[in-house]
Amino acid sequence: MSAVEAPTGSRRGGTVGEPGLGTREPLLELRGVWKSFGPVHALEGVDLEVPAGQVTALVGDNGAGKTVLVKCVAGAWEPDGGQILWAGQPVHMRSPREAAALGIETVYQDLALCDNLDIVQNMFLGRERVRRVVLDENTMERSAGQTLAGLSVTTVRSIRQPVASLSGGQRQAVAVARAVMWNSKLVIMDEPTAALGVAQTAMVLELIERLSHQGIAVLVISHNLNDVFEVADRLAVLHLGRMAAAGPASEFDRQIVVDLMTTGATTRRAPGATAGSSEGG
């Protein structure tokens, strides 16, 4: 399986000729995606484009369908209808492993790091490198170190430090580094700054920008509109399972986003908006 063999510390991103990178079609595209749970329609015909090398922020009120959408993209749920396209090709992901094989990695809010393990062990959890029946600690340590350095994560004192001893921001950085280490092309983050203080939030936002500059597509869920406007190149607003609006961040301002989140519509127009853009689906 390619995801397991992916070499580390080798993120180049934006390589022309790789699917979805340097090409014009979005790396990920949702077309009319439906997902229901019994009588609850969590997603009703959702369209979304997530381009490589950009940060797309997904916002919406509680219960809008953000997590369900992310789980459909991450292979945790299969949509009931519609299409998911990856670099222009329809794909059916039946498990997170299949999504990972395409280059889709998700950083969930609880981070799912193991406190009693160190940074290297966490980054290789379930994907350990073995050499002649024993774990190849040197290679794993080198790769983990290179990945963190490549993301300019410099506040961690030792990569052999147990994760329990890290700050919230450092834990988030380790979780992100783990996600990008496997040749990821799309990194999804569910509320990455929710539990963080000011300085740590700034560090994570910087990390998000760095990922996109490396050519990675980033899809970030956030309730914090300050964060959203700081990092997002594109915005998508879900309202009760429908895509209320999506487009370049310049076409939105805070009040427009609040209108869309609470009512699904807006009569305002952002100063940076061009005529005829940013209407919902």
Ligand X SMILES: Nc1ncnc2c1ncn2[C@@H]1O[C@H](COP(=O)(O)OP(=O)(O)OP(=O)(O)O)[C@@H](O)[C@H]1O
Task: Phi first, then psi: give them for residue 201, nearest 5 degrees.
Answer: -60, -45
Which span sits near ligand X by CB under 6 A: 18-26, 37-45, 141-149, 151-159?
Answer: 37-45
User: Nearer Cβ to ligand X, position 40 or 130?
Assistant: 40
Asked if residue 63 binds ligand X (CB under 6 A), the reply is yes
CA dist 233 to 48, 110, 144, 185, 260, Å?
A: 14, 25, 29, 17, 18
Binding residue (CB under 6 A) for ligand X from 1, 2, 5, 37: 37
Pick from 210, 245, 240: nearest CA to 57: 245
Asked if residue 183 binds Mg ion (CB under 5 A), the reply is no
Binding residue (CB under 6 A) for ligand X from 1, 40, 112, 114: 40
Neighbours of 47 (CB within 10 A): 17
Which span sits near ligand X by CB under 6 A: 34-42, 151-159, 173-181, 255-263?
Answer: 34-42
Q: Which two tokens stand for residue 145?
A: 């170190």
Work out the widest C-alpha separation in the chain, in whole angstroms.
Answer: 65
Asked if residue 110 binds ligand X (CB under 6 A), the reply is no
Asked if residue 106 binds Mg ion (CB under 5 A), the reply is no
Residues in a beta bridge with 236? 58, 246
Strand 234-239 with 55-60, pairing: parallel
Pick from 182, 173, 180: nearest CA to 218: 180
Q: Which two tokens stand for residue 150?
A: 């490549």
User: Nearer Cβ to ligand X, position 3 or 218?
Assistant: 218
64 binds, among Mg ion, ligand X, none (CB under 5 to 8 A by kind): ligand X
**Minimal distance, residue 68 CB to ligand X, in Å:** 4
Asked if residue 192 binds ligand X (CB under 6 A), the reply is no
Which span sits near Mg ion by CB under 5 A: 58-66, 132-140, 166-174, 261-269?
Answer: 58-66
Which span sits near ligand X by CB under 6 A: 7-15, 65-73, 79-87, 206-214?
Answer: 65-73
**Which residue type, as a one-letter code, is found at position 175?**
A
Residues in a beta bridge with 56? 219, 234
Binding residue (CB under 6 A) for ligand X from 42, 74, 140, 243: 42
Rounded Cα–Cα distance for residues 56 and 147 (Å): 23
Q: Which two tokens stand for residue 241?
A: 């399972």
Asked if residue 67 binds Mg ion (CB under 5 A), the reply is yes
Binding residue (CB under 6 A) for ligand X from 3, 27, 46, 66: 66
Which span sits near Mg ion by CB under 5 A: 43-51, 64-72, 122-130, 192-200?
Answer: 64-72
**Minimal distance, residue 195 CB to ligand X, in Å:** 14
Pick from 270, 248, 269, 252: nearest CA to 261: 252
Residues near ligand X (CB under 6 A): 37, 40, 42, 60, 62-68
